[in-house]
Amino acid sequence: MPKVAVKESTKALLIETGIDIMAEKGYNNTGIAEVLARAGVPKGSFYYYFESKEDFGLQIINTFDEKYVAEWNQVLYDSSLPPLERIAAYIDEIIRRSEARQCGRGCLLANLSQEMADQNELFRQRLREIHLKRRDTYAGVLAEAQQLGQISARIDVVEMAEFFLCAWEGAIMRSKVQKDSKPLHIVRQMFFERLLA
């Protein structure tokens, strides 16, 4: 069914373009006309693919979670590496990507959380779920490290995972405003040298 295939690829293109623009500019500041123009998709076809701008935003969040967060998380589940080395590899990969774009954009999920949590309850609920899923992924790796005796048995792994999530998202914001990855490196070092020690 080539017609459906074309439709899906156009929809995917609009979502990818929306991810790029919204990561830079936020939800409210992203115009549908700008997304269509950058994607090279004719005006007027947007509502064939999405019910509304809100629907577009929610599908962007879902795609970002399913595609990008899931991709970054693969290293966290890579059982060929010891648990703490997986967290280090995950951090290093995000630092590498951040440096490759001069610390621009920041984290789409954190940006949309700041912007939308008080504005739109559907966005808030979906973002909240994704943040909690990330926290629990980190907690699972820390629990493995604990079982292997790599970190103290007294650490509450869910609280430590929440703490890491806070520090990491804060560091991405700080590096975005500094245009310097130093805050990411500081959080990496403090996390391994002082928090997990």
User: Restricting to residues 110-129, which ones interact with its own copies according to CB under 8 A?
Assistant: 110-111, 113-115, 117-119, 124, 127-128
Helix spans in 101-155 (H): 108-116, 121-147
CA pair distance 102, 79, nearest whole angstrom: 32
Total number of residues shown for the chain: 197
Count residues binding its own copies (CB under 8 A).
45
Taking contact as CB under 8 A, which single stretch among the options 4-12, 25-33, 47-55, 78-86 is the one that binds its own copies? 25-33
Count Cβ atoms within 10 A of the Cβ of residue 53 and give its class: 0-12 exposed, 13-18 middle, 19 or more buried.
Answer: middle
User: Restricting to residues 130-159, which ones interact with its own copies according to CB under 8 A?
Assistant: 131, 159
User: Based on CB atoms, which residue is closest to its own copies, 86 or 174?
Assistant: 174
Taking contact as CB under 8 A, which single stretch among the options 13-21, 36-44, 90-98, 163-171 is the one that binds its own copies? 163-171
- What CA–CA distances, in Å, run from 155 to 54, 124, 148, 184, 195? 40, 29, 13, 23, 9
Among 69, 81, 88, 195, which residue interacts with its own copies (rule: CB under 8 A)? 195
179 CB contacts (<8 Å, ≥6 apart)? 102, 103, 104
77 CB contacts (<8 Å, ≥6 apart)? 86
Can residue 176 be called a binding residue for its own copies (CB under 8 A)?
Answer: yes
Among 9, 28, 52, 62, which residue interacts with its own copies (rule: CB under 8 A)? 28
DSSP 3-state of 7: helix
Q: Which residues bind its own copies (CB under 8 A)?
A: 24-26, 28-29, 104-106, 110-111, 113-115, 117-119, 124, 127-128, 131, 159-160, 162-163, 165-171, 173-174, 176-179, 182-183, 186-187, 189-190, 194-195
